[in-house]
Chain A
């Protein structure tokens, strides 16, 4: 599903040039659950953002579903993104002005799903995440665990083929964290490809494969058994 070759990303500030990704190559097959690990600042988030087409690489190739997307502009990327990828962030990134229901509904609006169908699908997914009773609350009125469940609901409501999660349990206690990992595992078992950045060896164990990064390069891959 994903194949990147010699991917590079630099950040230039006035004084220094940071190489966030250094000729990184890897691939992820459809249906895999991959964890990305590594010390802080090694480029995990940068990689995930590029994989999610939220950012563009400076050099190298990125083939997504057999399409070379490295040089796509924002317009084309947005189109690919909305039909294929769901995101889960460490800081949830819910829109404060919208209710739980409205937040989850948003991706469906953008892909042009009809109102009736939207209601059905949002309720379905809220049910599954067990936050149906909170549907009319605003994000600030929820706990961190609940917020992350809303974020996951939002990420999966469109039935994306790929879910990218950047430290999804980073702001949660271990019990809430485990719930989230169970949810992701369920989704993976139903066929969704998942790439997850994490600092926790515990969480990483839910995955099939761990990719370890150091200074923007792959240092090791472990296949989980």
Chain B
């Protein structure tokens, strides 16, 4: 019997090849997309799960409020880790990580730029699961000047993973002994380092200061239930350990400090939450956001729904055609059950084909998808363990659902009614089908609006006046290599034609150099009157090189000696400080120790620079204070060259003259800027792809329905044509019903899209407005696509010889 179902199903599907193809194709397309998104989402959700103890590992965060300044840190005080471990027995292990900036590592004569270097406590390997191939994880980092490297790094520098005892030279002078080689840190980790340098090598690591924060601090708890206990213990703990330092340095007790409305607070964040939920100052790398996980999950679900809706729609539409078949079968004695199984077998079979195609397509497309999404997803045996059952579930659920309408509905008819053809009359009649078409198109319109808004916002970011000019700026990143020759290099470049200006500092709007310092508005160092700005050391050429505008006062000058204590602030700082006229205002900075006027540095404001963006445009512009200083972090050169290659050659030659051994390392400021928005651009791209797919799938369904409608009404079309209907009248007649449904979708989807996208935009401090025309374009687009799809079928029907349709009775 079962074999008979399969055989009949197969023949029936084969007989309606076009219909079956549309059905399988649409469903396969939907499932492929869905699978890829699911892989993406699972990847995002499983960050840091490679740690055996991931459920018991927490990072300590610090929230700081000082006066009106609030900062959320991912980093804590230097002594916190060891103190927590000593104080609380349920803190089994604690480890700190401090990211090192760009470092040069020697390989033979070459100097290689490395960005993934961290100082870590020896306990790092007890907290995180970073399996060591060579060396002893317990002791590897307990000595100063030791380093543990990853497998890939070992191969890169020593051509072997057996690198124990070898020496690594940082920045041309610091020698570190390799004491361990670990497996590469998994991609799904919120940090990604190639070098783990012992913190013992770094004297600051033994600092006992409780009033500053610069170490990412992780604790391994005995059980995750202790997290609440530790969170509850933090206030008293902080008071106990930082109270005396507060008294001596800020001249006030901890209670007083809190009474002023300021606070230090510690709290735990679960390791598993860091990647998606943490976006604090001092993160070890860029994290993801739950927002996109939600959005993509929703899209996956939508696309799957659209595909299923198609499937159901086409199946039910066709079922009317099969009413006669059902009637005949019933007359011949088929039971209702038999018919139900027959229809279900057919629909499950289509789903099965579609799923097989989808799984294969997803596997083939995964590398492409990885590239677009910036991911490194691989299908492993592990992934098949959850994939296989879910895919199987999809086949059964979707197959049954889609087949259930024709199965139960048709099989329930009285044979005589079916044979008299009373059923095939009403194509328009199906409310369910209309509802499903509206549903599909509403989602499509939602996705189109989403895509347009995201694209507009990204475009807005890219073309927004940032307050500086990022074009034609060359940044020499490893200027530090030149040591005190850096100034000579800058001097020599200034003589080159094509170099219009240059500035020497690592602090740039596009770099991630950050430096927060506390300034006070008055000499009493009252923290209520404090400012927590970015404090950047720049030179007098900084503002002109970056093409920034002064709104008040003047820029620094090399020739005015008092400018060493001068500062230029941005508009945001002036506003925060409440200055109408900022010029000649004074700001105070503590030198540490007692809070006394003799212990402070006084700065006077000489100018206000127009606000410029340096964080992501998601965030508001923070206050910035610029002061004169020697900083050879980078050299930014404003070019004015018609022949860039020639100029580059000259610059490289000058560099080689000063540093023959080390290659110049440079980038362009506009590219650095673009890099900062790459993840957003990726999201935009993925969005466009998914939207297109969703629309294609929806249209595929509409195409099938239109074909079906035309087929159903062949005779009517024939008669109407005999009576004088021309092509346009027939096309209009066939399209009208669908167009009405699409219009209804527009009405439903527009406000929803507007609301949802406005919500998304709230995340950006600088954002576009959603104009009515965005919605109009989306609606018109969906309508146009639908009409084109339907017309294709309608024209075919309308242009046929009427005699063909009349014969067909």
Contact = CB atoms under 8 A, between A and B. Distances in A.
Physical interaction between A and B: yes
Contact of B809 (A83, A91, A94, A154): A91
Interface in A53-105: 54-56, 74-75, 78-79, 81-83, 87, 89, 91, 93-97
B736 interface: no
B723 A78 contact: no
Most chain A beta-carbon contacts within 10 A, residue among B715, B721, B800: B721
A110 interface: yes
Given A54-B806, A91-B809, A81 B716 contact: no
A198 interface: no
A158 interface: yes
Nearest to B719: A93
B425 A82 contact: no
A78 B720 CA distance: 11
A76 to B, nearest CB: 10
A187 interface: no
A78 B803 contact: no
B801 A95 contact: no
B724 A158 contact: yes
B727 interface: yes
Nearest 10 pairs of A and B residues by beta carbon: A82-B724, A110-B724, A55-B803, A54-B803, A107-B723, A54-B802, A78-B726, A49-B803, A93-B719, A106-B723
B133 interface: no
Contacts of B798: 74
A82 B806 contact: no
A89 B721 CA distance: 14
14 contacts: A52-B722, A54-B803, A54-B806, A74-B799, A78-B721, A78-B724, A78-B726, A82-B723, A82-B724, A83-B724, A87-B722, A91-B809, A96-B425, A110-B724
A100 B160 CA distance: 92
Contact of A78 (B425, B718, B727, B809): B727
A136 interface: no
A119 to B, nearest CB: 18
A87 B716 CA distance: 15
A74 B725 CA distance: 11
B729 interface: yes
Nearest to A73: B799
Contacts of A78: 721, 724-727
Contacts of B799: 74-75
Contact of B726 (A49, A82, A95, A97): A82
Main SS at interface, chain B: helix
A91 B799 CA distance: 23
**Interface size class of chain B, counting residues whose CB lies under 8 Å from the partner chain:** 20 to 34
Contacts of B800: 74
A18 interface: no
A43 to B, nearest CB: 13
A174 interface: no
B729 A95 contact: no
A5 interface: no
Contact of A81 (B718, B724, B729): B724
A87 B718 CA distance: 12
A40 interface: no
Contacts of A94: 719
Contacts of B725: 78, 82, 106, 110
Contacts of B720: 95, 106, 110
Interface string B223-238: 0000000000000000
A95 B716 contact: yes
A5 B729 CA distance: 33
A49 B799 CA distance: 16
Interface string B727-759: 101000000000000000000000000000000
A107 B726 CA distance: 11
B669 to A, nearest CB: 61
Contacts of A49: 803
A110 B719 contact: no
A177 B722 CA distance: 23
A124 to B, nearest CB: 18
Contacts of B809: 91
B724 A54 contact: no
A111 interface: yes
A165 to B, nearest CB: 13
A49 B803 CA distance: 7
A75 B719 contact: no
Nearest to B809: A91
Given A93-B806, A97-B425, A54 B716 contact: no
Given A74-B798, A93-B719, A97-B425, 10 more contacts: A52-B722, A54-B801, A75-B726, A82-B723, A82-B726, A83-B724, A87-B723, A93-B718, A95-B720, A110-B725
Interface in B776-809: 798-803, 806, 809
Contacts of B722: 52, 54, 81, 87, 93
